[in-house]
Each structure stands twice: as C-alpha cells, then as structure tokens.
Structure 1
Amino acid sequence: MLSPLREHLRDTFWFAPSAALVLVYVLWQLAYWLDTAIVDELQRQREYDAVSELIGVVDDLKTVITTVSSAMMTFIGVVFSISLVAVQMASGQFTPRVVRIFVRSRITKLTFAVFLATFALSLLVLTSYSGETDPKLVDSVPIAQSLLTIGMVTLSLLLFIAYVNATLRLMRVGHVVDRITVEAFRVVQKMPQGGVGDELPAAESGQIGHSGRAGVLRDVNIARLVRAARRQGVVLRLIPRIGDFVVPGTPVLAVHGGRAPSRGALGYTVSVGVERTFHQDLGFGLRQLCDIALRALSPAVNDPTTAVQCLDRIVQLLAELAHRPLGAVGHRDRQGAVRLVQPVPSWEDLVDLGFTEIRIYAVGSPQVTRRIVAALDELLRLAPEQRRPPLLRHRALLVHAVERDVPEAAERAFALEADRQGIG
C-alpha cells in the first residue's frame, strides 16, 4: 500500500533534506541534554576544574564550528552547481527522460541532505555557546554538540568524495544505460507470472471515469483495487495502460460481474503526473533506451556506438520478456481469484518499441544495422514460435531499407551481416 507513496517520494528532491533537518534537530537536542547532564554532574561532585577544562576546550572548538558554518554553504553551492551541470549535459547528450535518474540518485540526495544538516547543526551549536566562564554558574558546555558537528563534517567530506565519483559515473552513457536496464528489470520482476486466461467475466457491467487532473497515468494502487473488487464481488479491468495520458472523464476502470465499488472505496487508487515513471510502466525502460539511441544516431551527435550499447540492453530486456505472459496480467486476492486485470504492452508492441525507430534511422550506419540483425537473430532463437512473426517482420523491413538506400552490393552485404558488436 505504501509502494506508490515511496516511489513518489523517490521522485522528489525535498523529502530527504527535510527529513535530515528534522533528524539533526533531534540529535542536537539529545546532545544538548547530554552536555547539560555532564555539567550538572560535575558541579554536583564539585569538579569545577573539570568544568573549566571543558570550557577551554569548547572555546577552542568554537573557531572550528564558526568556520564550518560559513564553509558548508560554499560546499552546498558546489554540490548544487555540479548537479545542475551534470543534469544539463545528460539531458542534452542522452535524453531529457534520464534527468529522472539524477533526481532519484540516493547519493546526491544524501550528500545534499547531510550538507544542509551540518550547516543547520553548526548554527544550532553556536547558539549554545555562552559567555559565562565561571564553572559554578555555567549551565551547559557544548562539548558533545561540538563533537557531533565535527563528526558531521567528516561524514560530509566522505560523502562529497562519493558524490563526485557517482556523478562522474552517471555522466557516462554505459552507466546510464545500465541504470535504466536495472530499473526496467525491477518492473519485470514485479509483474505477475500468470496470465488472465478465461477468468474475466465476459459481461461488462459499467465503467468508472477519471475524476482527477489530467496527466500521464503513472501507477495504480493494486492492493486497494483488489481489496475493493473482492468486497464487491466483481472484477475490475484497467482500461488505459500505464503511461497513457488521461483527462477528466476518461474511462479508467471497467467493472465485470456486478455493481461498481463506491467512489470512497476507489479513492486514491489512480495516480497521474506530468511524466512517465518506472514504477509500473513496462515499456518505459525500452522508451528511454530508444531515445538515447535515436539521439546518438542524429546527425548532430553521430555516435553509432552508443546506439549499439542501447541495442545490447534492448535485447537483454526482450529476451527476459520472451516467455512471459503479456498483453494483460491478472492480480489475485488471497483466495487466488483474479480481481484486477491490468493491460501491459503485448510482445509485438515491445518489439516495435525496441526496433522500429532505431531501424528507420540506422540505415546509413552499418555498425547499427549489423547489430540489429544480430539482435533479431538472437531473439529468434530465444523466442517461442508464436512470437517470431514481429521479429521476422523487422528483419525483412531492415533488409528492404538497406537494399533501397545502399547502392553497392558489397556494402549491402556488409551492412546486413550479423555482428553483436556492430563493427567491433
């Protein structure tokens, strides 16, 4: 039930810094209480010399805390600047869709959050310093607070090193393509293994329209929909696919086998946004890989090797999906009955998504056409018989396009020779 909320929080940049500020305030309160308890205990035991020594130590540390307070804002500016440059370069070189990878980067959020927390902690610690030097009258000596600040500074420096390393990796196309593939495989692994079969009642008894704002259908609360359908004794069928754009009034749910659940039972079950996400979108990974490949094949970039890297991952994803039920998947209740039918891309849709645009723009690049031929041949060996026609169709279309646009017979033969590395 918390899965959609968790995914939405991962797509935001405010939650981690806000949580870090709250946490560091709690830690500061605990450190302040510890400092007060230490001084009270020393005064109770009349250890005034020890209190005087603590006052001397924290006076020396005050210079460090003051320096940290001013330096952390500079560090925060550096982190923010590096992030903006990396996002701009990735958006221009790869595709605007990969900006989401930087937004979801845990190390970026953690670094930014810890830097802000260290800055806030240093300000809080400075407020704890007192001008009182008499060990009998002083209420608190911020020794624990100062040590906590130094610990946060050390953590900030270590995170800054990790952040720079992670950002440099995210600016490499191979790592970006790998991250997209990993996210896509997570979506595949969360898909139900069984198809719907004949468990969907034929009669449709009603439809439920979208009542929220217009936007891209990002995800649905599967557990809540299954629970509402079980209570009503019906089967719900999601009409649009995840990733479709819906407007108010668009039918989103069809009801089979009885009356529709109440609006209250279906509340907060459909989430829309301004762009697609990986959460439940089976085709989004292929879409991003194709976008990167198309940008690489454009005359402005002219980087066929990147397109080949994307094709490697496209083959990996399609090979994983070759034997899975597609077109529609069923989500079952505790008794094993299908309660929600969710449309997903068919095998033909996924093959078209993975190869159509790249095939059209790759005719002039033998490195890419050779990789496409090898990819199709490999998938033809892996896919079951009933799923081979889309692959054969794309192979025939590629051969026809090369024969039409490449005049020399030797060049045509070279361009249509299967090679997993393109031209090595």
Structure 2
Amino acid sequence: MLVSAMITMASLVFSITVVALSVAASQFGSRLVRSYVKDTRSKATLGVFAMTILYCLLGLRVVGSDMPAERVPHLMVSVGLVLSVVCVFAMLLFLHMIAQAIVADEVVRRVAQELEDGIAELPLAQAGLSPQERLESLELPATPLPVFSASEGYIEAIRYGRLLQHAQAEDAYVDLRVMAGVFVARGDLIATYARAGGANVGFEESCRAAVLIGPERTPVQDLAYSIRHLQDICLRSLSAAINDNNTALVVIDRLRGAFTRLLRRELPNGRYADEQGVLRVVGPRYSHADHLHHALHAMRRSTAAQPVVVLR
C-alpha cells in the first residue's frame, strides 16, 4: 500500500515536471530546459522519491502480510514511514517551486543569472594600456600550418592555458580561427600554427584537444549565448501569439543591469603571451560593442511597433 502511494506521488511529480518544462519551452524557448534540468532542488526531490520507492520495494522482501507481529522489523517500517512523510513535504515544496519557476520574471532572472555569473568571472578593467596594446609590437611568425577539426559541433570552451603551455614547450605560435559558441564541421579550419621545427602531428593533436567541441552551446566562455537567450525570450514575448510587453521590459531591465557591470570588466583580448612576454596564442574576440550589438540588433525591429518597450 505504501509503495503504491509513493509510486503515485512520484508519477505526479514527474508529470508536473514534464508539463512545466513543456510550458516553459513553448513560451520562452527550448534553451530554458537546460537551466531546469540542472536545478539542484528538482534533482533532490526526484531523488528522494526514487530512493523511497526503492527502499520500500526492498522492504517488501522482508515484511510479509502474514508475518507475526513479533517478527516485524519495526525499525525498517518506521524508516519507511518517515521517508513517506518526507516525500509528502518534498512534493509540496516542489509544487511551490514549479509554480514560481514558470513565472516570466523568474524565468528571466534565471537566464540573467547565467550572464551575471559569466561577467563575474571577468577581471576588473585596469587603467592604462590593455594587454592587447602591450603586445602589439611583437613580431608574428610567418608560414603558418593548418589544424583542422576532427569532430563536429559547437565549441563549448577553449583551454587557453593548456594551449599556451604546449605552444611554449614547442616554441610555437598558434593563431586560433574559432571561439566559444561557434559551430564547426568536421574538417573545418580551427587554427594555424608556426613552429621552429616545422609540422608536428603531436602538436596538432594538442591544439585539437584544447578546443572542446560538444553537441550544444553553453554559457562557458560565451557571454553571447546568455545574451542571445535573453533576446530570444524578449522576441517571443513580443510575438503575435504571446504579445506580453511586460516580459520584454523585464528582459531589457536585466540586460541594462548586466551591461552596467560588463562595462566595468575587461574582456579577454584574444592574445596570450608566456612569462617572457613572447606572444604564443592569438584568437578572435568580442568587444563590448559586439555584445551590445548582440543584445539590441534583433530587438530593435521587433520593438519598433511597441512604444512602451521603445521608451524603456
């Protein structure tokens, strides 16, 4: 009886989760599903139900319906009852959490928090010459050799530190042609390099290993991803099917707050030198203007017919 009740409640929790994800994906975009999937509270709730059901199923092998009272393992039964009560409270908290999670303001806050986390990892802007200007006078080697991608997908991150170590060890110079968030096909050019000893297969493999390629974009080293996600929510809210100006205003407020902090940070300059000041790795980079363009370019047209949003 207890096991049946736990399975019923677990089915309810799973059903509510699927419905919430469906609503969020249809209204705010499928990218939002990732933020729900990695939510610790959701995982903890589903884990409590799963472990309680497993515990009760294992207990059925010990406790029988015709078992004498003196042979009943009271401790095991008591633990099962306590876990059942915990599951009831967990379900109530989960329902409250899901109700909050699908509110537009909370959805925007979740996505904006990813952007804020990425901005917080950037160093504060320093007065004087930027690292790019300090390395401007270094002579770049000629006769580059190509490095092609061995897999296909989105670049999730680039291990610049490891690439710099390999380049210093091989006395080489690497010119990256890609950055985090870019899609590459198998065989695409991802970098070129110049090395004193000429071509080296092992060094090319090291360059490929430093470029992490996966099936989808992530906010790691990719502020444009989180900005694009907020932009998608704004564009969907202004569509004829939804027509929700308030959500668009919340997105604009969050973007304004994020850019206020981003302008005080120093973006990666795409140029990496070793301890001796020798330029070893260069690559493409985004400027503050690029990020601002990513945030506002698509929204300008969609908001042209929305005076309330334009005035904000």
Class of the TM-score when normalised by the shorter of the 2 chains? 0.7 to 0.9
Aligned pairs, how many? 300
Decide which of 236, 241, 248 is 1:295's aligned counterpart. Answer: 236
Any gaps of 5 or more consecutive residues in structure 1? 1-66, 372-424
2:238 paired with 1:280: no
Counterpart in 2 of 1:356?
A: 297
Aligned identity (percent) is 27
Secondary structure (helix, strand or coil) at the match of 1:364 reads coil
Matches of 1:275 and 1:268 in 2, distance apart? 18
More helix as a share of residues: 1
SS in structure 2 opposite 1:271? Answer: strand
Partners of 1:166 and 1:157 lie apart in 2 by 14
CA contact (8 A) 2:180 2:222 kept: yes
Say if 2:184 is the partner of 1:253. no
Query: TM-score of the superposition, structure 1-length normalised?
Result: 0.63
Distance 1:115 1:331 in 2: 50
Tell me, which stretches of 5 or more residues in structure 2 are unaligned?
125-129
Cα distance between partner residues in 1 of 2:191 and 2:145: 9
* 1:254 Cα offset (Å): 3.3
User: In the alignment, what sits opposite 1:171?
Assistant: 102
Secondary structure of the residue aligned to 2:31 is helix
Cα gap change, 1:339 to 1:184, in 2 (>3 Å):
farther
- 1:187 equivalent to 2:114? Answer no
Question: What is the CA–CA distance in structure 1 between the aligned matches of 2:154 and 2:161, rounded to whole Å?
Answer: 21
2:42 corresponds to 1:108: yes
Instruction: Report the CA distance between 1:235 and its aligned residue.
Output: 4.6
Offset of residue 146 of structure 1: 3.7
Distance in 1 (alpha carbons) for counterparts of 2:163 and 2:155 = 15
Structure 1, 301-310 or 160-169: larger mean CA deviation? 160-169
8 Å contact from structure 1 (residues 91, 97) kept in 2: yes
Q: How far apart in 2 are the matches of 1:229 and 1:143?
A: 66
1:46-93 Cα distance to aligned partner (Å, 9 max, x none): xxxxxxxxxxxxxxxxxxxxx332222212211111111111111121
| Corresponding position of 2:22 | 88
Runs of 4+ in 1 over 6 A off after TM superposition: 130-135, 332-338
- Hey, what does 2:93 align to over in structure 1? 162
Match for residue 262 of structure 2 among 315, 318, 321: 321
d(CA) in 2 for partners of 1:143 and 1:342? 66
User: Is 1:217 the counterpart of 2:155 in the alignment?
Assistant: yes
Provide TM-score, normalisation by structure 2: 0.83
Instruction: Report the Cα distance in structure 1 between the residues aligned to 2:185 and 2:296, rounded to whole angstroms.
Output: 30
Per-residue deviation, 1:197:
4.0
- 8 A Cα contact 1:327 1:347, kept in partner: no
Any conservation in 1 of the 2:13–2:46 contact (CA below 8 Å)? yes
Aligned in 2, Cα 1:241/1:92: closer, same or farther, shift over 3 Å?
same
Provide Cα deviations, 1:367-413, integer angstroms capped at 9, x if missing partner.
11101xxxxxxxxxxxxxxxxxxxxxxxxxxxxxxxxxxxxxxxxxx
Q: How far apart, in 2, do the equivalents of 1:145 and 1:222 lie?
A: 54
Separation in 1, partners of 2:6, 2:209: 41
Give a deviation string over 1:88-138, Cα, whole Å, max 9, x none.
Answer: 111121122212221121111111122111111111222234788698xx8
Higher relative contact order (CA 8 A, sep 6+): 2
Decide whether aligned partners of structure 1 residues 222 and 116 sit closer, same or farther in structure 2, where only a CA change above 3 A counts.
farther
Equivalence for 1:24: none
* Partner residue in 2 for 1:14: none
Cα RMSD (Å): 3.0
Matched residues in 2 for 1:178 and 1:78: separation? 27
How has the CA–CA distance of structure 1 residues 365 and 222 changed in structure 2, closer, same or farther, with 3 Å as cutoff? same
Contact 1:235/1:338 (CA < 8 Å) preserved in 2?
yes
Partner letter of residue 93 of structure 2? A
- Residue 229 of structure 1 aligns with which residue? 167
- Residue among 173, 179, 189 paired with 1:241: 179
